[in-house]
Amino acid sequence: MSNEKIAVGLDIGTTKIVAMIGKRNMYGKLEILGVGKSKSLGVARGVVNNITQTIQSIQQAVAEAESVSGYKIKDVVVGIAGQHIRSLQHSDYISRPNPEEVIGDQDIEQLIAQVHKLAMLPGEEIIHVLPQDFKIDGEANIKEPVGMSGGRVESNFHVVVGQAASIRNVGRCIQSSGIQLSGLTLEPLASADAVLSQEEKEAGVALIDIGGGTTDLAIFKDGIIRHTAVIPFGGNVITEDIKEGCSIIEKQAELLKVKFGSAWPGENKDNEIVSIPGLRNREPKEISLKNLSKIINARVVEIIEQVFAEIKAYGHESPRKKLIAGIVLTGGGAQLKHIKQLVEYITGMDTRIGYPNEHLAGDSDEEISSPLYATAVGLVMNSIRNQTQSAVKFAPEVVSTPKPEPIVEAEPVAAAPAEAVAIEETPMEPKSANSTEGKMKKSFFDRYVEKIKDFLENAE
């Protein structure tokens, strides 16, 4: 049991922050040990705008996950999103001194490291460098160059770029919450891990993750990520429109959207009305469900049309780029009634709702299988790939120290206190081992922070 790798993902969203602790079970499925959720107070459209509030929200989510699971969180893989994210295509190559020598991992690493040196706009940093396909000595469409021979190795890359200041703020919030950062992942890539099958990625699929502040797009073809985009609108603008259109408070608007909202306006009859309690002894307000769905429909159409413009920009209509598996919707916004039908109507593409339950153990809580938790599940899967022990059990330290004293009540014998001291000393040894491990983790985070600091200094 001690060899089990415990993984932790932290989804810092615009409406909620989710800390999720999990591990692989004997069947290779993801067993969720604990989930903590808190309202996200210091984040707008995926970007931290209030560090103090964000730290409090992170600590609340982490504390809840720890109390549910009985594990103390040490480090996390964090999702990066927000309107500052952009992507670009880039081609690069290396020339090898000995063409007869077999291409190894170090050659690919050298090529990727070369792309990381690309000149970016001031204040930007490269988050991901994702190889698309390779070309060796002019021979194209090679998926796996390792093991082949050649003098010139070229590759097309999908490069994901974000604002260094935004990334640094996320790092600062996590460090101030008393945990370390073990990895950064683009949120649509994490969601894709959780809800897409390998067959869909091969056939060609567009993943649309409708969050609170942003809508993220990730397009896969031939098993490779081809295009990513972040649309700066999500479920919160729908709530805002309902609030303004119906003259009600935000809390009521959110409840209306979740309980009675529909993306398809033809569904409701004119006489369907819901009554909202009035504020401070005022009369209740009556709202037509038909009008409600018209407000929702107008905003959802706008979001989907912007996403569809990105899919068109990728070139999905050409035979080689055709997305056979269509569209997969996930995120909290995917729970809106009739959104699947509306997306099919606008895009003309097959659509399904993406649930993360394919990768989850059979006895998982039904709530965790919701599209709402797709990103968090994907981040835990990413943390598992890091092979780090991201959380440790509370129990040994808490239970073993206080319990020997009440048991050893027979104090007239002189030998008893000495024995009690010996018992108390034993739990101290694992602690010292833990502290060195903590130092190693700290040095990893320090290196990460230094990297961002160096980048900012260079940018200036």
pLDDT of 452 strictly over 90: no
pLDDT of 19 strictly over 90: yes
Pick from 46-55, 320-329, 365-374, 414-423: least confident: 414-423
Cα distance between residue 274 and residue 285, in whole Å: 8
* pLDDT digit string, tens, across residues 201-252: 999 999 999 999 899 999 999 998 999 999 988 999 999 999 999 889 999 9
If you average pLDDT over residues 289-302, what whole number do you get?
93
If you average pLDDT over residues 294-306, what whole number do you get?
95
Confidence (pLDDT) at 440: 39
Residue in 281, 171, 274, 156 with CA at minimum distance from that of residue 226: 156
pLDDT of 285 strictly over 90: no
Whole-number mean pLDDT of the chain?
A: 84
Confidence (pLDDT) at 295: 94
Tokens of 228: 């990513």
Res. 389 pLDDT band, cuts 50 70 90: confident
Confidence (pLDDT) at 80: 87
Pick from 164-173, 239-248, 410-419: least confident: 410-419
pTM comes to 0.80
